[in-house]
């Protein structure tokens, strides 16, 4: 069955157009054409409903009965613009009982007039008062209870929800960001509030200070190339401990038990910081071992980066003439005796070759240029 085609003045509308003219009378004009609500191409060419007048010279015949609304009263007219009113009802051309006869047919319905009922929002009860020394600005008793150690605060109540903002902390407390801690971090001579502070030693960069002078500052980080150990900044670490830190920095050096730093984590079993973050002594060293009893930072590098070659615990730009520059990546390059890397060793990750040597392996010769090797 072919697809329905919208023809001019179709009655009823074919499938695929807007549906039949339901419940409203059409008229046969004198020239035989259809007048009244019809389905056909509009002026824009879209198949839709519109009302067609008979030509001026024609006289209309008696109304032509049309089919009733489906299922009695079936809803809006297909293909004609409708819209939903604020109350949820449909306006525009609709199919339903007419206001005059009650007969089910097409009609134009307007939205109901807006309701005059006004929704009154419940009023919010808000109060704000300042509480100081357990008395508010009205003379009533109050307490700053949400922030420990707060002596004066603003209490705001919205309905039954109470919030407090601390203005001043009690004696023996710092006033920092609405909090009242007994101890606060002092870094570089200043608290987070901007107030000046003193760590008690020119070699201490970061410490915890009490609000009163009765308690000595607790140092956390040293500067001036001093080593932090048990709250103090030392010139050198006690025997049996390693000097840990970055050679290029005078800050953050510590005394710790000897350990290996691998991939940025302490890897030595039994170390108190096992699994915690660490850094090697040099930015060119990726993995390293911090040794004990040295007079200063003494670490042996075990894996280099930045395209440098590992040689006897150091990271060097060039290997000795009797060794080969082994390695292709930015990290993991080494100075080793000349050797051949078999296909099996290559697959096992023991050594490196260019991908063109993947099937046969490669040879690393002495005094070669970086990355230079030959396929076997």
DSSP symbols for 47-64: EEEEEEPPPTT----SEE
- In this prediction, residue 37 carries a pLDDT of 60
- In this prediction, residue 15 carries a pLDDT of 45
Residue pair 372/333 in contact (Cβ under 8 Å)? The answer is no
d(CA 140, CA 146): 18
Among 11-25, 32-46, 72-86, 117-131, which is the least confidently predicted range? 11-25
d(CA 362, CA 340): 6
- In this prediction, residue 185 carries a pLDDT of 95
Burial letters 295-322, b for 16+ CB under 10 A, else e: eebbbbbbbbbeebbbbeeebeeebeee
- Confidence band, pLDDT 50/70/90 cuts, at residue 43: low
% of the chain beyond a pLDDT of 70: 69
List the structure tokens of 179: 């909090």
d(CA 76, CA 89): 11
- In this prediction, residue 357 carries a pLDDT of 92
Residue 180 CB contacts under 8 Å (≥ 6 apart), including other chains: 147, 148, 149, 150, 166, 169, 170, 173, 174
Strand pairing partners for 314?
311
Per-residue model confidence as pLDDT tens digits over 202-250: 999 999 999 988 889 999 999 999 999 999 999 999 999 999 999 999 9
- In this prediction, residue 354 carries a pLDDT of 93
Residue pair 314/331 in contact (Cβ under 8 Å)? The answer is no
- Confidence band, pLDDT 50/70/90 cuts, at residue 269: very high
In this structure, the strands spanning 83-84 and 90-97 are antiparallel
- In this prediction, residue 141 carries a pLDDT of 92
List the structure tokens of 206: 């970061």
Per-residue model confidence as pLDDT tens digits over 73-119: 334 444 444 556 677 665 555 555 545 555 555 555 666 776 666 66
- Confidence band, pLDDT 50/70/90 cuts, at residue 67: very low
User: Could you identify the residue written with the tokens 């054409």?
Assistant: 33
Q: Is 159 helix (H, G, I), strand (E, B) or coil?
A: coil
d(CA 226, CA 244): 11
Residue pair 25/36 in contact (Cβ under 8 Å)? The answer is yes
Kindly list the domain boundaries of the chain, sorted by start residue.
Answer: 1-74, 127-169, 320-375
- Confidence band, pLDDT 50/70/90 cuts, at residue 3: very low
List the structure tokens of 53: 């007048």
d(CA 269, CA 271): 6
Question: Model-level pTM?
Answer: 0.59
d(CA 137, CA 195): 29
List the structure tokens of 215: 């308690």
Per-residue model confidence as pLDDT tens digits over 161-203: 889 999 999 989 998 888 899 999 999 999 998 889 999 999 9
Element (H, E) at 344: helix 343-348
- In this prediction, residue 44 carries a pLDDT of 59
d(CA 225, CA 202): 12
User: Could you identify the residue written with the tokens 């015949």?
Assistant: 61
In this structure, the strands spanning 259-262 and 135-136 are unpaired
What value does the mean pLDDT take over residues 141-153? Answer: 90
């Amino acid at each position: 069955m072919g697809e329905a085609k919208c023809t001019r003045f179709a009655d009823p509308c074919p499938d695929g157009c807007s549906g039949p003219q339901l419940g409203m009378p059409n008229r046969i004009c004198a020239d035989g054409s259809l007048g009244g609500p019809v389905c056909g191409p509009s002026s824009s060419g879209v198949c839709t409903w519109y009302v067609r007048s008979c030509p001026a010279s024609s006289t209309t015949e008696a109304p032509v009965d049309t089919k009733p609304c489906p299922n009695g009263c079936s809803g809006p007219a297909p293909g004609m613009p409708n819209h939903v009113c604020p109350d949820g009802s449909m306006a525009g051309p609709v199919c339903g009982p007419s206001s005059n006869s009650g007969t089910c047919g097409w009609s134009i319905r307007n939205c109901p007039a807006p309701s005059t009922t006004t929704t009154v929002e419940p009023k919010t009860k808000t109060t704000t008062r300042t509480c100081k020394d357990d008395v508010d600005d009205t003379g009533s008793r109050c307490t700053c209870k949400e922030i420990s150690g707060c002596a004066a605060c603003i209490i705001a109540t919205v309905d039954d929800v109470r919030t407090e903002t601390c203005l001043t902390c009690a004696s023996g407390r710092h006033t920092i960001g609405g909090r009242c801690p007994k101890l606060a971090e002092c870094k570089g001579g200043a608290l987070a509030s901007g107030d000046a502070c003193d760590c008690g030693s020119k070699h201490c960069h970061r410490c915890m200070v009490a609000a009163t002078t009765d308690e000595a500052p607790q140092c956390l980080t040293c500067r001036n190339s001093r080593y932090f150990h048990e709250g103090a900044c030392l010139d050198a670490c006690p025997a049996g401990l390693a000097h840990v830190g970055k050679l290029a920095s005078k800050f953050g050096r510590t005394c710790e038990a000897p350990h290996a730093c691998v991939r940025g984590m302490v890897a030595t079993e039994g170390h108190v910081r096992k699994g915690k973050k660490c850094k090697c002594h040099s930015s060119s060293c990726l993995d390293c071992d911090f040794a004990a009893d040295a007079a200063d930072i003494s670490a042996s590098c075990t894996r280099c980066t930045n395209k440098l070659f590992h040689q006897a615990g150091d990271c060097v730009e060039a290997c000795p003439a009797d060794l080969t520059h082994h390695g292709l990546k930015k990290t993991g390059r080494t100075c080793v005796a000349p050797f051949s890397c078999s296909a099996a060793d290559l697959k096992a990750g023991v050594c490196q070759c260019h991908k063109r040597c993947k099937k046969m392996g490669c040879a690393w010769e002495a005094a070669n240029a970086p990355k230079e090797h030959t396929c076997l």
